[in-house]
Structure 1
Amino acid sequence: MPDVRLPKLNNNDVHYVLVEWAVPDGGLVRAGDPVAVVETSKATEEIVAEHTGVLRHMAREGSECAVGAPIGVVSADGEAPAPEPEAAPAQGREEVLITEPAERLAAELGIPRERLLALGRKVIRRTDVTALAAATDDVGHVDLPRGQPAIARAVAASHADVPAAFVAVRVVVDDAVRRARDAGRAARQLIGLPELTVRALGRLRTPFPVFFGTRLADGTVTARPGAHVGVTVDVGNGLVVPVVRDADRLDLTGIAQRLLAVRLAAMRDGVQERDLAGANIMLALANEPGVVLSRPIVFPGQVCAVALPGTLSEAVPGSEPGSVAFRTVVDIGLAYDHRVVNGRDAVLFLQALKAQLESDDA
């Protein structure tokens, strides 16, 4: 079975960091599909599959991998996938990756490393330590995740100030996913539904200016210039909402580069205050497998928040009588300030977003 190996991307490095898998373990890949993102000393690069089949991971996210080393294996159609090999730990690193915030909290709570390793996870985050502590009788005090107090303040302020309503629409995304994959391959960027949705929101700023405005104390709304989309990012260090500024002017590659940069910064606790300022609409990502609907909060100062949950496989009548076909859908939600937006306009906004994502140039 063919390996997925790390190519030599520049002459200075002998190791790269595996930042993110673009395809889950056991997922189907096609030759030419991006399967992983690695970080060199100079840039981030996508690694593409050279063969079609089922991908099995051989290295974990966050691990340091030698140039030329296999990080995955692709089994051919009809061939039983090989057992997942043991990933050789990088020099000076353990097989299980324990994040620094998780190590600090475990030390504060007196939880030994052996109990963390017994969780059986490849990556152990602060939230895993919190859950372990909560389930342990002899630990009487558990700190909340570091970002939770700030989240609590934002939620309390939202519920106190914004009388929010909610509506959702189902979007068929088979073509959008294909277009995103093709665009990502052409631009050598990781492009998916989040990037497409940010661009689609940018295009809606002109026909729906109120949705990008701010409600003033006198009840009027000021339409703020530009589509500045805050996108939720949580890589285990707490939720942050960095801003993709001027999404109405950026192409897919620019949006993808911006989102990748802030994801990497969030992994290193390196998100700056300037990265978080100026959003006039929010895209809340809840696109983990199994999440079918999400209702975000509306931050004070904004009019609405769009939720992008996970995709679903929906059965529909097939082309032949009595046959069944399947399509990929996602239920995109809109939470909105009912003082500013009425239900009809909220539905029109979502229908326009749906049309953008389902159109040929989404």
Structure 2
Amino acid sequence: MAELKVPDLGDNVTSAVVVGVLIKEGDTVSEGQPVLELETDKAVMEAPALASGTVSKLLVKPGDEVKSGQVIAVLKEAQPSPGEAEPPAKASAPPPPAPPRPVGPPSPAPVPAGRRLIPAAPSVRRLAREMGVDLRAVVGSGPAYRISEGDVRRFAAQGQSPLPAPLVSKLPDFAQFGPVRREAMSGVRRATVRSMAQAWSLVPMVTHFDKADITQMEAWRKRLAPRAEQRGAKLTMTAILLKALAAALKAFPKFNASIDTERNEIIYKDYIHIGVAVDTPAGLLVPVIRDVDKKGIFTLAAELGSVAAKARERKLAPEEMQGASFTLSNLGGIGGTGFTPIVNWPEVAILGVSRSAIEPVWNPEKEAFEPRQIMPFSLSYDHRLIDGADAARFCRFVAELLEEPVLLGFEG
């Protein structure tokens, strides 16, 4: 007999929800064959079999929450046919299986409630056992409240977690007022709930509002759009904003940093990876465009179109949504005159863009109003590191790049 286990789900992914079971009892499976569809916080993946044999007992069903290494089925190992020689023993361990690969969105499945997963690595769990710390009482300081060894040591020394536990208020019985429906949160929505609550509790945020006159830039964009299409790209304002932000982050490195409160240090990043918020049917996903400062606008436009399509199809790999040092959220295609985006901790700033509109602008030389295309945008920032004057200068720098397209060639 052998056991079929959940493969490694990747760094910083502690669990997944089973949204599809691709095998049944009695089936014969081979190593590498997809056996489960799993939904993590940010992606849906096919999990391959790590062993071969016949399924004698299936231990999971849609809606179950599983972890890396968890047994999902018991296998009866395949027997050789009559007259067939037993295969020789392998001299070395087989190569590791291919990692789970993304697939399109499956039908939604119910998720069991009332269970709390403890986000901690095996080494952290071992340390907690050695120190006699109950991890259920520890609130982690990492992303999605992930518990680190430092959190365990602080809890053991002080008897408390570094962060206050999130408040959970008991809801009234809404059914007494009329009919209600309940729907299980998707993995993406649950991740959003955790990350937004964490960011709100950790970061004292301020939002600075500004406008840019993009009349010339929009004319350039329309004129160069056919050339971009020849390269398989759609030239959007988002791609241009990425390049402008890369120049601004180089000029204002504080905005490309993170705060290490444990060591009382500021971590300046020498890379510029920008997360771009993408609206999808499953919720908000943020793929990361890497090394934005080293790429031309046409290249950025092509890459942006590719990752946005993958996000909407739920085909992004977990690593494609990690490592951002700044985030851009452009709602201009939907509408609105302004909003206050929430900083994606441990980043320290995020830029939000709203829909541009034609506005009358006074021209002192002509002593008359002229119609100009004005784009409103807002910068939310961590006030622990960034002062209001810094934010105003950063926004003016971005606006000037957008108002004078030729500057982008020099600064970018």
Change in Cα spacing, 1:242 to 1:338, as seen in structure 2 (3 Å) is same
Find the counterpart in structure 2 of residue 215 from structure 1: 259
Identity, % of aligned pairs? 23
1:262 aligns with: 307
* Partner SS state of residue 346, structure 1: helix
> Does the 8 Å contact 1:306/1:334 carry over to 2?
yes
Q: Does 1:204 align with 2:248?
A: yes
Paired position in structure 1 for 2:321? 276
In the TM superposition, what is the alpha-carbon distance from 1:317 to its structure 2 partner? 4.5
Q: 1:180 corresponds to which letter in structure 2? A: R
5+ residue gaps, structure 2, are: 1-103, 111-177
In the aligned structure 2, how far is the partner of 1:283 from the partner of 1:340?
A: 19
| Structure 1 position 321, deviation (Å) | 8.4
Distance 2:198 2:382 in 1: 13
* Alpha-carbon shift at residue 257 of structure 1 (Å): 1.1
Q: What does 1:71-220 correspond to in 2, within 5 Å?
A: 104=107, 140-144=181-185, 147-188=188-229, 189-217=233-261, 218-220=263-265
Q: Is the 8 A contact 1:292 1:312 kept in 2?
A: no
Q: Which piece of structure 1 moves more, 304-313 or 318-327?
A: 318-327
Q: Please report the TM-score for the alignment, with normalisation by the length of structure 1.
A: 0.60
Which of residues 331, 341, 351 in structure 1 aligns to 2:396?
351
Query: Is this contact kept in 1: 2:379–2:395, CA < 8 A?
Result: yes
**AA paired with 1:201?**
L
**Equivalent residue number for residue 87 of structure 1:** none
Q: Which has the higher Rg, Structure 1 or Structure 2?
A: 2
Encode CA deviations 1:229-253: one digit per residue, 9 max, x unaligned.
1000113222111111111111001
TM-score normalized with structure 2 length: 0.53
Alignment match of 2:385 (pick from 327, 340, 345)? 340
| Aligned residue pair count | 234
Letter in 2 for 1:150: A
CA distance in 2, matches of 1:206, 1:320: 34
Q: Cα distance 1:341–1:319, how it changes in 2: closer, same or farther (>3 A)? A: closer
Runs of 4+ residues over 4 Å off in structure 1: 317-324
The residue that corresponds to 1:241 in the other structure is 286
Q: Is the 8 A contact 2:217 2:403 kept in 1?
A: yes
The 5 A counterparts of 1:4-43 are none
Residues 170-225 of structure 1 show CA distances to partners (whole Å, capped at 9, x for unaligned) of 10111111212223211212112111110001112221111101111233211111
Provide the residue aligned with 1:26 in structure 2: none
User: Which segments of 5 or more consecutive residues in structure 1 lack a partner in the other structure?
Assistant: 1-99, 109-136
Change (3 A) 1:315 1:229: same
In 1, the alpha carbon distance for the partners of 2:247 and 2:237 equals 15
**How far is 1:260 from its partner?**
0.5
